[in-house]
Structure 1
Amino acid sequence: MRSIIRYLSLAAAAQSAIAVNLDVTSTDSIKSAAKTIAYGMMSYYKGNVTNTPETIGVLPAPLYWWEGGAMWGSMLDYYHFTGDDEYNKVVTQALLSQVGPDYDYMVPVHAKDEGNDDQAFWGFATMSAAEKDYPQPTVGNYSWVQLTENLWNTQVRRWDTSTCGGGLKWQIFTFNNGYDYKNSVSNGAFFQLSARLARFTGNQTYLDWAEKSFQWMKDVNLLDDDYHIYDGANDDKNCNDTNKVIWTYNGAIALYGSAILYNYTNGSSVWQERTSGLLNATANFFSPFDNSSNIMYEPACETVNTCNNDQFSFKAYLSRFMWATTLVAPWTAQSITTILTDTSKAAAQSCSGPSDGVTCGEHWYQGGYDGKYGVGQQMSALEAIQGLLIADSVPPLHSGQVHLLATTTTTTTTSATPTATAVATPTPTKKKKNLGGMNEPNSLMWSIPAIITVMMGMSDLALGMRI
């Protein structure tokens, strides 16, 4: 009965609201705005209501498996920034529901829609749980970092040197559309997870693979000299036909991985330069018009209204990983905070849609709700707004700083030295996705705005050392 009363009271409060109210200078206001948006996002999730195995942890169609992992990552951020543990049991249940029979997020029932990139988004969530010292899981006696390592080990075994000199294919299984495509999100995600595991565990193997995967992206021109990251290339053409569409999340994923390695290497000039370059390249994702300075958008699809359900959420990961960069590379904090504060205000203004008056939209530069609603729009607004609290949060931890209550009965993976190049070829049925940001590739390109100038003095460099 209590839960019904609570639901009705929240619904009534939402009905009486006309928009999400956000004062970026008030912690209470930021938390209140985040709570409202998180509630709206979680309302799309039905798994904890039906409590059936098919629905736990995943979002309803037409949303795909990977976006569930992405959403739980956002909710881990929500708890970390706000301290509100209302959803923790749901988040934990969801993350553990998808571990798969080998505790590595290879889930047979999702073989038709699990690629390397999809799997990695669940890895982002489990890695975040480890770094945030989120209460350890009880399933399989694995810790969050061990689950992440298990996932990473499946991917490193799929590093494919038969074409393009290496790299991960987009798809894991031969029967899935896009198997002959090597894309930046799969390889960038592998790079970021390798970097974060290196920092967390101190294991050289992860650092070696982070450096190797980053260099590979440069070698095949998925990452250009100006640090713009392109969508991918066909490996049956030896990656000589780069698809030059640029998506926000590719730049974001690589930026945070680079910042992690800047931090882990105690301010390496190499990773400083790469972090700066990747940060500068994010200028492409802001200020679509003269009257929308510092407002984030998705250049490849948003202004022409062609974004799909996947792409509606991409801005969430740009906000998430830009905000996260400020903790591990503090010299970036001033420029990132300035930009994302303006973006958060615009995001909040978009959260004024019917019928509850606080539903979030897609086009933040329009100054209000635009009629485009869904999980991706809620998640994007949530990550932009809750990140305003990051300066007062605990930075990502190392293994020695967390409470590893879970113990595995199997050999841990941190000492592994994987060198395999085999590509998995199991047997189920077909899948869904098309190329290019989880959509069809196209030839769209655009002019690159002026880059952000990042200034760093010696005192700031000291702040960027390993924490």
Structure 2
Amino acid sequence: MRNLIKAVALVALSAQLSAGISLNVSDRASIKNAASTIAYGLMNYYTGNITNTETTVGVLPAPYYWWEAGAMWGALLDYYHYTNDSSYNNVTIQALLSQVGPLSDYMVPWHQKDEGNDDQAFWGFATMSAAEKDYPQPTVGNYSWLELTENLWNTQVRRWDTTTCNGGLKWQIFTFNNGYDYKNSVSNGAFFQLSARLARFTGNQTYIDWANKSYNWSVNVGLIDPNYHIFDGTNDLVNCTGQDQILWTYNAGIALYGAAVLYNYTNGSALWAERTEGLLNATANFFSPYDNATNIMYEPACETVNTCDNDQFSFKGYLSRFMWDTTILAPFTKNAVTALLTPSAEAAAIACSGGADNTTCGQKWYVGGFDGKVGVGQQMSALETIQGLLIGGSVPPLHSNQVHLMVVATTSSAPVPKQTRPPGKNDGSSIVVGGFNRSWCLAVVVALVNMGLSNSP
């Protein structure tokens, strides 16, 4: 009897620990609840909204770099867009406006040592999304989300470097930062995508010209190969005659969505249809790490060998974000994207079974549970992958003549209160995860174990 009770207890405990966040991919309410839980967990890493310090509002604490905060606010913009839950809007607006810099272009003097072209661009992704999604406009500063994005873009176009490699953006902005001689795909891909999105949003020919120019440059120096693989970067000290051929998920996602935007902007041109399809097909490199993990996303350059760093933990989130976005502007991709990201979302939900509340997200979605690796990147990657399941009911990105320029956004520098629990949830004492009420399950386990001990011979 004692052994039987122990066995039942262990089975119950195992089921509870491995179940993860409850997710029914066919139920919008279930998806929203899962996204809400993960977003709440993500915000637990941010403390800047309870300070009034210029250098801490809007950014994440060490060891996270400046750029990842911009990426996080972009993920929370998506969260609002998909779920219509405005719980984090005030803190997101405060954060985005706290980092605009003296010239309103996201050149922030106290971040010179960790601001490259790619870092700056991730804040641009967020402000561009705010413009396209008709987010409440700033009330101070005499700028709109569009103007902030254009200001940022203008700083980058001035850095287009023709002294080597016939063009391209360097990774770093400042000569004193490591990597100044490297022209990488994330910087140039982000510039391409922002150019494409600005072209579609404004109709300005200058942006489409630069989108074409930057994409063609990447092809010409071999950063995008004939099979649409996107290599990490190239050294301008040797005039970009070779490439670092490592593949990262975020490079693929950034380029893919830029191509999809231009497919839409050019009314389905054959050229951008071919490029969009080719870039999507090339994402196959980032799925199915093992035979028993079909269509589950992973980071092949580091994940299976346990060498990912804090930056790289977040990369899958951007591939998911931009793959989902692609399905709206290039609808012919919908079936292929859904076939990849739905199993990934289900696996990510199961991996979100760690921490004291058993809803903290891990990194390796293919292990069927929580792997113990936690952080902003892990939380954000799961959030982007799962909340994207709601994209079918969302409004496509707007054009400039469709947005409301009414200024209603909260921009006060006063601290914004932190959420005390996931929006729409109860006090968390009986959160249902994976079909189990956690507090009930633990109570049963404890009771069974105690019974076994009290009845032991």
TM over 0.5: yes
3-state SS of the aligned residue for 2:141?
helix
Check whether the contact 1:142–1:406 (CA below 8 A) recurs between aligned residues.
no
Task: Letter of the 1:130 partner, please give it.
Answer: A
1:334 corresponds to:
335
1:394 corresponds to:
395
Tell me the distance in 1 between the aligned counterparts of 2:288 and 2:136: 39
Residues 407-436 of structure 1: CA distance to partner in whole angstroms, max 9, x if unpaired?
Answer: 9xxxxxxxxxxxxxxxxxxxxxxxxxxxxx
Tell me the distance in 1 between the aligned counterparts of 2:393 and 2:191: 29
1:421 corresponds to:
none
Is residue 100 of structure 2 the alignment partner of residue 116 of structure 1? no
2:163 corresponds to:
162
1:183 corresponds to:
184
3-state SS of the aligned residue for 2:234?
strand
Check whether the contact 1:182–1:233 (CA below 8 A) recurs between aligned residues.
yes
2:292 corresponds to:
291
Which structure has the bigger radius of gyration? 2
Q: Give the alignment's TM-score, normalised by structure 2.
A: 0.85
Q: After the TM superposition, which residues 212-231 of structure 1 pair with which residues of structure 2 at under 5 Å, given as runs? A: 212-231=213-232
Shift of 1:335: 1.1
1:343 corresponds to:
344
1:320 corresponds to:
321
Is residue 85 of structure 2 the alignment partner of residue 84 of structure 1? yes
Check whether the contact 1:16–1:356 (CA below 8 A) recurs between aligned residues.
no
Shift of 1:139: 2.7
Residues 47-92 of structure 1: CA distance to partner in whole angstroms, max 9, x if unpaired?
Answer: 0112321211000001000000000000000000000000100000
2:405 corresponds to:
404
Tell me the distance in 2 between the aligned counterparts of 1:117 and 1:175: 16
Task: Letter of the 1:223 partner, please give it.
Answer: I
Tell me the distance in 1 between the aligned counterparts of 2:63 and 2:270: 44
Is residue 70 of structure 2 the alignment partner of residue 69 of structure 1? yes
Check whether the contact 2:19–2:350 (CA below 8 A) recurs between aligned residues.
no
Is residue 356 of structure 2 the alignment partner of residue 360 of structure 1? no
Check whether the contact 2:17–2:353 (CA below 8 A) recurs between aligned residues.
no
Task: Letter of the 2:201 partner, please give it.
Answer: F
Is residue 55 of structure 2 the alignment partner of residue 51 of structure 1? no
3-state SS of the aligned residue for 1:231?
strand
Check whether the contact 1:65–1:113 (CA below 8 A) recurs between aligned residues.
yes
Is residue 234 of structure 2 the alignment partner of residue 252 of structure 1? no
Shift of 1:406: 5.6
Shift of 1:354: 2.1
Tell me the distance in 1 between the aligned counterparts of 2:338 and 2:167: 37
Q: After the TM superposition, which residues 99-138 of structure 1 pair with which residues of structure 2 at under 5 Å, given as runs? A: 99-138=100-139
Shift of 1:18: 6.3
Identity percentage of aligned residues: 73
3-state SS of the aligned residue for 2:178?
coil
Task: Letter of the 2:347 partner, please give it.
Answer: A
Tell me the distance in 2 between the aligned counterparts of 1:240 and 1:139: 47
Tell me the distance in 2 between the aligned counterparts of 1:404 and 1:143: 8
Tell me the distance in 2 between the aligned counterparts of 1:383 and 1:16: 23
Tell me the distance in 2 between the aligned counterparts of 1:83 and 1:138: 21
3-state SS of the aligned residue for 1:327?
helix
3-state SS of the aligned residue for 1:53?
coil
Check whether the contact 1:96–1:139 (CA below 8 A) recurs between aligned residues.
no
Moved more, 134-143 or 81-90: 134-143
Check whether the contact 1:249–1:314 (CA below 8 A) recurs between aligned residues.
yes
Shift of 1:272: 0.3
Check whether the contact 1:143–1:405 (CA below 8 A) recurs between aligned residues.
no
3-state SS of the aligned residue for 2:361?
coil
1:94 corresponds to:
95
1:174 corresponds to:
175
Task: Letter of the 1:190 partner, please give it.
Answer: F
Check whether the contact 2:58–2:98 (CA below 8 A) recurs between aligned residues.
yes
Q: 1:16 to 1:254 in 2, by over 3 A?
A: closer
Shift of 1:377: 0.2
Tell me the distance in 2 between the aligned counterparts of 1:27 and 1:17: 23
Tell me the distance in 1 between the aligned counterparts of 2:275 and 2:286: 18
Q: 1:406 to 1:249 in 2, by over 3 A?
A: same
1:432 corresponds to:
none
Is residue 232 of structure 2 the alignment partner of residue 239 of structure 1? no
Check whether the contact 1:17–1:358 (CA below 8 A) recurs between aligned residues.
no
Q: After the TM superposition, which residues 419-430 of structure 1 pair with which residues of structure 2 at under 5 Å, given as runs? A: none
2:6 corresponds to:
none
2:418 corresponds to:
none
Check whether the contact 1:22–1:30 (CA below 8 A) recurs between aligned residues.
yes
Residues 294-333 of structure 1: CA distance to partner in whole angstroms, max 9, x if unpaired?
Answer: 0000010000000000000000000000000000001111
Residues 147-206 of structure 1: CA distance to partner in whole angstroms, max 9, x if unpaired?
Answer: 000000000000000000100000000111000000000000000000000000000000
Shift of 1:105: 0.2
Tell me the distance in 1 between the aligned counterparts of 2:287 and 2:151: 36
Tell me the distance in 1 between the aligned counterparts of 2:234 and 2:265: 31
Q: 1:268 to 1:18 in 2, by over 3 A?
A: closer
Shift of 1:231: 0.4
Is residue 24 of structure 2 the alignment partner of residue 23 of structure 1? yes
Give unpaired runs (5+ residues) of structure 1: 1-14, 408-467
3-state SS of the aligned residue for 1:139?
coil
Q: After the TM superposition, which residues 241-280 of structure 1 pair with which residues of structure 2 at under 5 Å, given as runs? A: 241-280=242-281
2:420 corresponds to:
none
Tell me the distance in 2 between the aligned counterparts of 1:179 and 1:405: 41
1:143 corresponds to:
144
Tell me the distance in 2 between the aligned counterparts of 1:54 and 1:81: 30
Tell me the distance in 2 between the aligned counterparts of 1:250 and 1:16: 34
**In angstroms, what is the RMSD of aligned CA positions?**
1.4
Check whether the contact 2:133–2:398 (CA below 8 A) recurs between aligned residues.
yes
